Amino acid sequence: MTEPQTQPSQGDVILVTGMAGAGKSVAMHALEDAGFFCVDNLPAELLLDFLQLERQRGDRQVAIAVDVRSAGSLPMMHTLLKRLRREGVNVRSVFLDANTEALMRRFSETRRPHPLRQDHGTGFGRLDEGEDGHRALLDAIDLERELLAALRAESTVLDTSQLRPAQLRAWIRDLVVVDGSSLTLIFESFAFKHGVPSDADFVFDVRVLPNPYYDRELRPLNGRDPAVQQYLVGQPEVGLMLSQIADFLKRWLPNFAADQRSYLTVAIGCTGGQHRSVYLVEMLARLFAHHGQVLKRHRELDAR
C-alpha cells in the first residue's frame, strides 16, 4: 500500500461538520493533536475574515467545526465553500454521520439534550418539549439531517455508528495527512451483521464466498493472517470476485478523478468482517497501490 505523506499540506482548511453526537469533539481533538489550529462553531459570516487573518499570521493548518447550532448561516457556509475552492483554497469538508439508533443511544447514555430540542437562536424554533422525549429526539435528528443535507452532499462522509473514539481519531488522522487535491481510494471491510457503512460509495457483498470461519483452525484468525490468505487463494470464486471488483474500479476510477472527487470509499462486507472482507481489502489495496493514495480500514478488526 502506498503510504500517505506524514504531514498535512501547509494552509489546509478542514471543515468538520455532521450530526450532533457523531463525534465532532473527538475529531477536533484529533486534529488539534495533529497540529491544526481548531475553532468550534465559527459563524459563516466570519469565515472569510478569519481565514484572511490566518494568512497574515502564517500558513498554519486550520480546522473549523460547523454544526446545526449555526443553522441560520448554513446556506451561506455552503456558498462560501464553493467560493474558496474556486479561489484555490484547499478546503476539505468531513461530515461525521451515524445511524439514528446509534445517535439515540448516545444521547440516552450521556443525557445531553439535542441542540434542536432547545432554543439556541437557530431561527428554526424549538421542538415541542411536551412531546414524549423519545419522539422529540427522533424529530430533532430528522430535522438536523434535513438542515445538514447540503453540506453532507459535498463532504467526505465518515460513518461513526460502529466506531470507538480511538478508531475515529485514527481515521481522522489518516484522512488529513493525504493530499486533498487528488483522489484518495479507501478500502473498508465490515460485517453485515453490524450494518452497512453509510459512508461507502460502493458496497460489495462477499458473503457468497467460501468462509474460513467454518475451519476450526482458521476461525480465530483473520484475513491478514497467512493461513487464512492461503485458504482463500485456493478458492477459485475468491480470485474471480477479486478480479471483477478490481476491473470495475480500474474502469471507473478515472471518471471519478475527473469529477474532482477527493475520496472514493469501497466497502467490502462479509458476515463477521473478519476473514473474507478483510482479505479482499488487503488484496485490493495492494493491487491499487500504484494509484497513489490508498487507505485501508477494517471496521470490525480495528474496534478490538
pLDDT in tens, 121-155: 444 344 444 446 677 888 889 989 998 888 888 88
Beta strand 202-205 with 62-65: parallel, antiparallel or unpaired? unpaired
Give the CATH H-level superfamily of domain 13-177.
P-loop containing nucleotide triphosphate hydrolases (3.40.50.300)
44 within 8 A of 77, measured Cβ to Cβ = yes
Q: What is the DSSP string of 152-183?
A: HHTSEEEE-TT--HHHHHHHHHHHHHS-TTS-
- Please list the alpha-helical segments (H only) found in the chain: 24-33, 47-57, 74-86, 100-110, 133-153, 165-177, 226-233, 236-258, 276-287, 299-302
Q: Write out the three cell numbers for 218.
A: 482458521
Global pTM reads: 0.74
Closest of 66, 89, 48 to residue 181, by C-alpha? 89
Distances in Å between the alpha carbon of 271 and those of 160, 181, 240? 19, 35, 19
For 103, the 3-state DSSP assignment is helix
Q: Report the distance separating Cα 101 and Cα 55, nearest Å.
A: 42
Q: Write out the three cell numbers for 36.
A: 491544526
For 16, the 3-state DSSP assignment is strand
Q: Write out the three cell numbers for 110.
A: 450521556
Q: Report the distance separating Cα 106 and Cα 20, nearest Å.
A: 10
**Phi, psi dihedral angles at 278 (to 5 degrees):** -65, -45
Looking at per-residue confidence, does 236 or 42 come out higher? 236
With 0-12 / 13-18 / 19 or more C-beta atoms within 10 angstroms meaning exposed / middle / buried, residue 10 is exposed
Instruction: Give per-residue pLDDT as tens, 74-125.
Output: 777 878 888 887 887 878 889 999 999 999 999 888 778 888 865 444 443 4
Q: How many CB atoms lie within 10 A of CB 25?
A: 14
Instruction: Give per-residue pLDDT as tens, 18-74.
Output: 999 999 999 999 999 888 899 988 888 888 888 888 877 777 889 999 888 766 677
Domain spans, the chain: 13-177, 184-302
Give the pLDDT band of residue 159 (cuts 50, 70, 90). Answer: very high
Residues 6+ apart with CB under 8 A from 251: none
What pLDDT, on the 0 to 100 scale, is given for residue 181? 62
What pLDDT, on the 0 to 100 scale, is given for residue 4? 39
Q: Which helix (H) or strand (E) holds 38?
A: strand 37-40
Distances in Å between the alpha carbon of 298 and those of 106, 154, 210, 247? 23, 25, 20, 22
Q: Report the distance separating Cα 234 and Cα 84, nearest Å.
A: 52
**Average pLDDT for the chain:** 85
293 within 8 A of 179, measured Cβ to Cβ = yes
